[in-house]
Amino acid sequence: VAGRDVVRMPRYPTLEPQGMLRGMDYVGTVSFGFSGGGLAALSGMDLLGTCGVGTLTALGGGTIRDALMLGKAPFWTEETEYVTMAVVSAAAAFAAIHYQDLDDKEAAALMDHPAVAITDTLGVAAFCIIGANGALKMAMPGGVAILCGISTATFGGMCRDVLCRRPVRILHSRAELYATCAMAGAATFTAATAMALPGGATTSMFIAFAVACAARTAASMFDLKLPTVRPIRVAP
């Protein structure tokens, strides 16, 4: 994979293909921050805890990728707008639940709103591509690139679930496929990049984005899950 063409995103969204990926990255950051903050608020956390967990949900995957896998400073230390987006979206979730005095059922419905689901899907697709792309830019092996894509898209949610004392979604079949969809997108991007398709990184990006979105949509529509030996047992 080393030496292949990779996606080079501009600092801010544009109407160019790479700039559109940056825009989807923003959409995912806001969506993850909102949903992570909402789950934190529903678990009983205060405003500070909600903003912290929401920010961790949005930025945690990329932080783990950069700090532990790629050995560099987390991306948000330079691109500080991501911290702002995550904190504000988490605070918005807290405000929506607290100041509208939503009960648990109403708050859960807000977290399951179609707009949240759609933006989450777009975020997963963008994150898995960006994670894999970051590894390929550093000439990492394909397997590492796929793992970086999975990490970017899902490890923030894993941290959220641990802090909120919930079964970790990507490790249990409590809900439909999630990490598997990120893996499909990251693997598609890595393979397409290695094949040097006509159109280069832009073609690889669009194909991988479509695969990740299609996988998440199918998983949601048909409630697709991986098999388990026993049902989830939640400790009291």
Question: Which tens digit of pLDDT belongs to each residue from 74-132?
Answer: 999 999 999 999 999 999 999 999 988 888 888 888 888 999 999 999 999 999 999 99
Place of tokens 């940056």: 22
At 232 the pLDDT is 66
- Count the residues in the chain: 236
Q: What is the residue-level pLDDT of the chain in tens, covering all 236 positions?
A: 444 679 999 999 999 999 999 999 999 999 999 999 999 999 999 999 999 999 999 999 999 999 999 999 999 999 999 999 999 999 999 999 998 888 888 888 888 899 999 999 999 999 999 999 999 999 999 999 999 999 999 999 999 999 999 999 999 988 899 999 999 999 999 999 999 999 999 999 999 999 999 999 999 999 999 999 877 665 54
- Cα separation, 13 vs 55, whole angstroms: 21
- Which residue type does 14 have? T
End-to-end CA distance of the chain: 48
Determine the angle formed by the axes of helices 47-64 and 142-163, rounding to 10 degrees: 170
- Cα separation, 49 vs 57, whole angstroms: 12
- Cα separation, 14 vs 64, whole angstroms: 27
